[in-house]
Structure 1
C-alpha cells in the first residue's frame, strides 16, 4: 500500500467515523425526545421537564464538534496535534455541560418564580438574584476547569485576578454599585415582586428585580426602569404593606345654618362613618373653623382594608349619606359668595330720597 493510499484510507476512515457518530447522536436525541413526549402524555414529573430541557438544549454545533473530534481521532496525529485534540475535547464537553447546567438553572428559576410569585413574593425576588449568581458560579467553575485542564496554573490566575480586580472594580464601579444594591434589596426587602410602590413622582407594581435594574409596571401600562443604586437613594412608599388607610376630608356649610344643627352635625357624621356595613373606624369630626364663605368641618376615619378601590367605595357611601342627611335637615353646602356694602354719602341719600318720592 502506497503512502497516498494510506492517506486516502485514513481520511475515508475519519470521515466515515465522523458521519456515523453524527448520525448516531441525531438519532439518539430524536429517540430520547420521543420517549419524553410519550411519558408526558401520561404523567410529567418535574425531573422529566429537566431532561426535556437538556435534550432540546443540545444543539447541532455540539454534534458537529463531537463528530469532527471523533473523525480526527481516527487519523495518525503527531504528539502536538494529539495534545490539541485533547484540549478540544475538554473545551467542547465542559462547554456543553455548562450549557446544560445553565438550562437547568433557568428552568428551575422559572418554575419556582411562577409558583412563588403568588404564594411568597419575597422568595420570588430572591430567586432572580439566586439564578444569576448560580449562572456566574457555573460559568466561572467551567472556565476554571477548562484552564486547569489546559495546563494553566489556577493559583497564579486567581492571584492575578485579585490584583487586576481592583482596576476592574474602579472601571465598573457603577455596575458594582447596582449589583450590591440588588443584594441589599434581596436581603432587606424594602419591596418585593407584586408590591405597589411610589418612587418620587413615579408609581407602579414591582415586576422584576434584577442585578442592575428594577422594573415597575405603571398604572398607565408602560414599564418604568430604575437603576438599583439610584432607586435605593430615593424615598420609597410601599402601599402593599399598608394595613389600614387613614382618610381626612373636609366640607363646609352655609353661615346661615342654625346653631342647633351645627352642634348636632359632628354626631351625625360619626353615625354615618360608623355604619355597620362600612369597614371603617371613626376617629373624629370637628367644627374646624371659619372659611371665607363657609363653616368648615374636618373628619378623620380609617378604612380597615388597604385596597384603594374599597376606600373609594366607602368614601362614596359616606358622601352620599352626608348629602342625604344635610338635605333632610335643610342644611345647605356653602358655595363662594360675596356681600357688597355701600357706604352712605350725600349723593347716595339724594338719589334714595328721589327714588322714594317717585315710588310714592
Structure 2
C-alpha cells in the first residue's frame, strides 16, 4: 500500500518576505551601493525622457487642434491626448532605460510589471475618453436622459472589463475559462430579459439616431399627437394634446411610423374655396391676384399658387397654396386666419360671392311628367284679372 504524498506546507507571510522580498531588496540595495553612478545616470536619463514626453504630449495636442478639420474629432482627440497621465509617461521613461544598463533583473521585472499595468490603464482611459466624447456629440440635447446615462455606464464597464482581461492575459493568467463563463452568463441573461433588452437597445437607437427628442411634437399613432417628455430605459413618456400621459415601450414606438412635427422648417398650407357660377369671367380672372395680395399681407406667409381647378356641384372651385416661414403651429394658424379674413374682405370689395351647396327639387305628376312649380303657384290678383 502506497502512502499518500504529504500536502505541501503552507507558506506564511514571514517565509514569503524572507524568501522573495528580502533577496530582491538586498539585490537592489547592493546595485545602488556598487553602481551609484550608473543608477544616477539612468535616473537622469529617465527624467530627461519624462520631460521630453511631456513636451511631446503638449505638441501632439496642439497639432491635433491645428491639423484636424472636423471640430468634433478635433476636440475629442485633443481631450484624449490630454488625458495621457504623467504617471504613465514616467513609467514609460523608466521602461525605456530599464534595458540599457546593468539594472538588477528583479528591478527590471518590477518596472516592466508596473509599465504593463500603466499601459493597459492608459489605453482604457484613451478609449473611454473617445467614446464618451462621441456619445456627447451624438446625444447633444439629451445629456440628462436616463438611457444616455445608462449608455455611459455600460460603455465604461465594457472598457474596463476588456482592460482587466487584457491585463490578466499579459500577466500570464489563463482567462479562457473566465471568458467562456462570461459568454454563457451573457447568453442566459439575454434569453431571460429579451423584452427589457429590446426596449433598452431601442432607447439607444432613439438617443443616437434621434428620430425625435424631448420636447418634440410627434404623431405616434393614427390620430394621436403628443409632446415627448422623457426618453427612458424601457419606455418613452408622451404628453398627449388632450392632457393625459401616454407611456409607450421604446421598441413599439421605434417600430411605428412616427411623424415629427418639430422637424418643420416651414409649413405648407392648402385652402380650397368656391365661388358661384354666376361670377363673370373677368372677376374669375382677377381672383388669383386678389388672393395673392391677401397672402402677402399676412405675417410670415409666402404665396405659392392659386388656380381655378374645376367645376364643382354648386361652385367654381379654386385651390390656394402658400407657406408659413415658421415651424410653430400657432404661428401657422394665425397666418392661415389672416389669409382667410383677407380673402373675405377682398371678395366683399369686388362683389364676388362664395358658393354654398344648393339643391333644387322637381315634382312629377302621376304620369311621371316633371311639373314646373311656377305653374302650380297661386295666381296673383293682377294675373287673374289679365286671364279673365
Q: 2:255 is matched with which residue?
A: 233
Question: Is 2:227 aligned against 1:209?
Answer: no
Superposition map of 1:1-360 within 5 A? 122-124=140-142, 127-134=145-152, 159-201=180-222, 202-275=224-297, 278-340=299-361, 360=387
1:40 is matched with none
Q: Is the 8 A contact 2:139 2:208 kept in 1?
A: no
Distance, in Å, in 1 between the alignment partners of 2:370 and 2:190 is 90
Point out the more displaced range, 131-140 or 169-178. Answer: 131-140
* Deviation string, structure 1 residues 204-226 (Cα, Å, up to 9, x no partner): 11111112111111222221111
**Taking structure 1 as reference, are residues 284 and 357 closer, same or farther at Cα in structure 2, changes over 3 Å only?**
same
> Displacement of 1:268 after TM fit?
0.7
- 1:274 match: secondary structure: helix
The equivalent of 1:112 in structure 2 is: none
Using a 3 Å threshold, how does the CA distance of structure 1 residues 290 and 127 change in structure 2: closer, same or farther? same
The Cα offsets for residues 241-283 of structure 1, whole Å up to 9 and x where unpaired, read as: 10000000111111111111111101110111122x5212111
2:117 corresponding residue in structure 1: none
Q: 1:233 to 1:138 in 2, by over 3 A?
A: closer
Matched residues, number: 232
Runs (5+) with no aligned partner, structure 2: 1-135, 165-173
Assess, with a 3 A threshold, how the Cα gap between structure 1 residues 178 and 206 changes in structure 2: closer, same or farther: same
Normalised to the residue count of structure 2, the TM-score between the two structures is 0.52
**TM superposition score normalised by structure 1:** 0.56
Do the aligned residues in 1 keep the contact of 2:363 with 2:371 (CA within 8 Å)?
no
Residue deviations 1:53-88 (CA, integer Å, cap 9, x gap): xxxxxxxxxxxxxxxxxxxxxxxxxxxxxxxxxxxx
Structure 2 Cα separation of the partners of residues 278 and 269 of structure 1:
15
**In 1, Cα distance between equivalents of 2:338 and 2:199:** 47
Query: Does the aligned pair in 2 maintain the 1:213–1:227 contact within 8 Å?
Result: yes
- Whether the aligned pair in 1 keeps the contact of 2:142 and 2:148 (CA below 8 Å) is no
Q: 1:348 to 1:321 in 2, by over 3 A?
A: closer
* CA distance 1:272–1:347, shift in 2 (3 Å): closer
Q: Which runs of 5+ in 1 are unaligned?
A: 1-115, 146-152
- RMSD, aligned α-carbons: 3.5
Q: Distance in 2 between matches of 1:347 and 1:283?
A: 49
Output the CA distance in 1 between the equivalents of 2:348 and 2:370.
45
Separation in structure 2 between the aligned mates of residue 161 and residue 227 of structure 1, nearest angstrom: 29
SS across alignment from 1:284: strand
- CA 1:359–1:336 in 2, change beyond 3 Å: closer, same or farther? farther
In structure 2, the CA distance between the partners of 1:289 and 1:137, relative to structure 1 (3 Å rule), is closer
Q: Counterpart in 1 of 2:18?
A: none
Match of 2:45 in 1: none
Describe the shift of the 1:176–1:310 C-alpha distance in structure 2 as closer, same or farther (beyond 3 A): same
Secondary structure at the aligned position of 1:309 is classed as helix
**1:134–1:348 CA distance, 2 compared to 1 (3 A):** closer
* Structure exhibiting the larger radius of gyration computed from Cα positions: 2
